[in-house]
């Protein structure tokens, strides 16, 4: 996770005022990098710096300041830290095949995705596992060749954002 998203999610947990020291302690990011992200958020109009005071000065180092911030726009911050999707990727092609096959036939298989989307077999397997783990698709049976997959939720033509990590996501599965 990049530092903008990490600092942004930590800021969203606060109600009202927060300091750079609180963000630094909770994220584990250096003070300089936290300050850079907070300055970026101030420039974008997401947060506002309301108080600044000198904290001690050590000879040979730049002076340190304690700073307190407050929210200006929570919705803008939430929109800023959401992962962005790229258009026209292999996952988009696979999702369009899944969506069209589901609309016309009700199910699809691994061969359909490799041929129609032009993707490698291992990548298609990974994508199907990620969709299954996040609760979007279900197999016709547990194992074996020729497994037919079906869509549980009709999400439309835009592909869902799948969890790239191996842990289970917060989306509830029906079974």
Q: How does residue 171 score in pLDDT terms, banded at 50, 70 and 90?
A: very low
| pLDDT tens digits for range 120-161 | 999 999 999 999 888 888 888 777 777 888 888 777 888 887
Task: Give the pair of three-digit tokens for residue 21.
Answer: 């020291």
Q: How many CA atoms lie within 13 A of 142 on its CB side?
A: 0
Does residue 16 contact residue 71 with C-beta atoms inside 8 Å?
A: yes
Spatial neighbors of 88 by CB under 8 A, at least 6 apart, are none
The percentage of the chain sitting over the pLDDT mark of 70, rounded to a whole number, equals 90
Which domains does the chain carry? 3-81 (1.10.10.10), 87-175 (1.10.10.10)
Question: Can you tell me which residue has the tokens 């994220």?
Answer: 27
Mean pLDDT of the chain: 82
Q: How far apart are CA 103 and CA 42, in angstroms?
A: 46
Helix boundaries (H) for the chain: 3-12, 20-27, 31-43, 74-81, 90-104, 110-117, 121-133
pLDDT of residue 169: 46
DSSP category for residue 172: P
pLDDT of residue 172: 43
| pLDDT tens digits for range 53-109 | 787 777 888 777 778 888 788 888 888 888 776 677 888 889 988 888 877 788 888
Does residue 48 contact residue 72 with C-beta atoms inside 8 Å?
A: yes
pLDDT of residue 163: 67
């Amino acid at each position: 996770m990049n530092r903008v998203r990490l600092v942004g999610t930590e800021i969203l947990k606060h109600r009202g005022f927060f300091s750079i020291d609180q963000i630094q302690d909770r994220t584990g990011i250096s003070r300089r990098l936290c300050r850079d992200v907070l300055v970026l958020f101030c420039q974008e109009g997401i947060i506002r710096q309301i108080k600044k005071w000198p904290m001690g000065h050590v000879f040979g180092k730049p002076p340190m300041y304690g700073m307190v911030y407050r929210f200006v726009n929570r919705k803008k911050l939430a929109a800023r830290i959401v992962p962005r999707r790229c258009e026209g990727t292999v996952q988009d092609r696979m999702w369009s095949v899944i969506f069209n096959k589901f609309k016309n036939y009700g199910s699809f298989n691994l061969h359909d995705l490799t041929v129609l989307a032009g993707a490698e077999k291992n990548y298609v397997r990974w994508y199907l596992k990620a969709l299954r783990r996040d609760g979007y698709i279900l197999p016709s049976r547990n194992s074996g060749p020729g497994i037919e997959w079906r869509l549980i939720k009709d999400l439309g033509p835009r592909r869902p954002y799948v969890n790239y990590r191996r842990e289970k996501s917060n989306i509830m599965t029906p079974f």
